[in-house]
Amino acid sequence: MKNLIIYFFCSFVLLSCKEEKKIDAESSVVSNDKWMLGFEKTEINPIMQSDSSFVFTDPVSKKKVQWQKADVFNPGAIVRNDTVFLLFRAEDNPDAILGHRTSRIGLAYSTDGINFEKYPEPVLFPSDDEFAKWDQPGGIEDPRIVETPDGDYIMLYTSWNKDIARLSSATSKDLKNWTKEGPVFEKAYDGKFLDVWSKSGSIVTELKNGRLIAKKINGKYQMYWGELFVNLAQSDDGIGWEPLLDENDELLHVFKPTLNDFDSHLTEPGPPALYTEYGILLLYNGKNLSGEGATTTVPEGTYCGGQVLFDKNDPSKMLDRLETPFICPSLPHEVSGQYAAGTTFIEGLVYFKEKWFLYYGTADSMVGLAIKE
């Protein structure tokens, strides 16, 4: 039934877009309903699940592996030649506990943005290469992807060696063949942040001719990143990055969790950020604490999606934040699977056929979709 389409609002959270909030952005007054994006979950949901029939020969073990037998989730997304491509995280071993499987990146395509065809083998995975110390044995996780002004592609992903998570990058010209570039902070400040836990890189993009293109601000690409806090980094080429620091030469936190709210535990960047007339819009993943400091409006430990606006001329300056999440787990597959507390982990965003398509991971197990008409 058509009424099975569920709004991107949790049933237990009410969001009012009518209340205007004044913000100081180029001396203008902007209300939430102008800069925020509102979505509805699709009737077909999930749109992608695990499949044990996909097999490839693992270059590390030299054995055939059912590389997406356990789960597929947390996809990045991009539009190329009137087609939506998903780069999704796939895990191999359903018997291993959370965080102890090997992740690889698969590729799928769709001409309607909803029904996807998967390529038979992963396109990015651990191997016996110079990056093995970062990528093995946990694998390659949670891709975000952007197109550069010259038509190439940059993927940011988590290298997981089951010791320290490191934000890494890879480049491609066709989405199928990728060149690993290594940890993005390897050279910055003489390697000061190489061994600091890092994840979730959201490069600022701008909508041009229907495609989201990485945009330089003040002469450099900008990236929101982090897990507990949102940090900011800059780059000349989109591959190697330099984090912004505070007066104590520590990471500058440009956005932090809010106690007693849906993002009381952490604020983790979602899909590539959007440069708009109102500012830079970052869709992020907020996690509720368990115990003291948690909100009662969503279950403890739950991941919901939020939106925050930054100054388009000063990406470190936060202007406004939605006080309630715009997406929360509400469907059965979003509150079951690997992460039973529930996740709608937003990670892929494209503008396609004059609509916004938002792709997200559901409980670390499947791929969901919501659309803004």
Averaged over 215-226, what is the pLDDT? 97
pLDDT at 23 over 50: no
Averaged over 187-194, what is the pLDDT? 96
User: Which CATH number, 3.30.70.20, 1.10.10.10, 2.60.120.260, 2.115.10.20, labels domain 2-372?
Assistant: 2.115.10.20
Query: What single letter denotes the amino acid at residue 166?
Result: R
Encode pLDDT of 105-126 as tens digits: 999 999 999 999 999 999 999 9
Q: How far apart are CA 140 and CA 181, in angstroms?
A: 13
Q: What is the pTM of this model?
A: 0.91
Averaged over 224-232, what is the pLDDT? 97
Question: Residue 45's pLDDT is what?
Answer: 96
> Residue 83 CB: number of other CB atoms within 10 A?
14
Encode pLDDT of 260-270 as tens digits: 999 999 999 99
Which residue, 8, 5, 84, is CA-closest to 346? 8
Q: What percent of the chain has pLDDT over 90?
A: 86
pLDDT at 161 over 90: yes
> Does the N-terminal peptide bond of residue 46 adopt cis geometry, omega within 30 degrees of 0?
yes
Averaged over 206-213, what is the pLDDT? 95
Q: What is the DSSP letter of 23?
A: -
Question: Residue 93's pLDDT is what?
Answer: 86
pLDDT at 137 over 50: yes
Q: How far apart are CA 181 and CA 128, in angstroms?
A: 15
Encode pLDDT of 168-177 as tens digits: 999 999 999 9
Going by pLDDT thresholds of 50, 70 and 90, the confidence category of residue 338 is confident
Averaged over 333-346, what is the pLDDT? 92
Encode pLDDT of 66-89 as tens digits: 999 999 999 999 999 999 999 999
Question: Residue 16's pLDDT is what?
Answer: 34
Contact 140, 124 (CB under 8 A): yes
Q: Is 139 helix (H, G, I), strand (E, B) or coil?
A: strand
Q: Mean pLDDT score of the chain, rounded to an integer?
A: 91
Contact 246, 281 (CB under 8 A): no
Going by pLDDT thresholds of 50, 70 and 90, the confidence category of residue 19 is very low
Question: Residue 340's pLDDT is what?
Answer: 86
Q: How many residues does the chain have?
A: 373
Contact 145, 153 (CB under 8 A): yes
- Which is more confidently placed, 3 or 352? 352
Please state which of the ranges 263-267, 338-342, 365-369 shows the lowest mean pLDDT: 338-342
Averaged over 308-329, what is the pLDDT? 97
Question: Residue 337's pLDDT is what?
Answer: 84
What beta strand segments (E) does 46-129 contain?
A: 56-57, 64-65, 71-80, 83-91, 103-110, 117-118
Going by pLDDT thresholds of 50, 70 and 90, the confidence category of residue 28 is very low
Going by pLDDT thresholds of 50, 70 and 90, the confidence category of residue 97 is confident
Contact 172, 179 (CB under 8 A): yes
Query: What single letter denotes the amino acid at residue 247?
Result: E
Contact 91, 103 (CB under 8 A): yes
Averaged over 307-326, what is the pLDDT? 97
Give start and end residues of each alpha helix (H) in 247-298.
Answer: none
Averaged over 266-277, what is the pLDDT? 98
Contact 143, 178 (CB under 8 A): no
Going by pLDDT thresholds of 50, 70 and 90, the confidence category of residue 11 is very low
Which residue, 53, 212, 44, is CA-closest to 112? 44
Question: Residue 14's pLDDT is what?
Answer: 34
Question: Residue 88's pLDDT is what?
Answer: 98
Which residue, 118, 55, 51, is CA-closest to 86? 118
Q: What percent of the chain has pLDDT over 70?
A: 92
Q: How far apart are CA 223 and CA 89, in angstroms?
A: 21
Q: How far apart are CA 283 and CA 144, in angstroms?
A: 13
Question: Residue 277's pLDDT is what?
Answer: 95
Q: How far apart are CA 322 and CA 33, in angstroms?
A: 10
Q: How far apart are CA 234 and CA 242, in angstroms?
A: 5
pLDDT at 331 over 60: yes
Going by pLDDT thresholds of 50, 70 and 90, the confidence category of residue 1 is very low
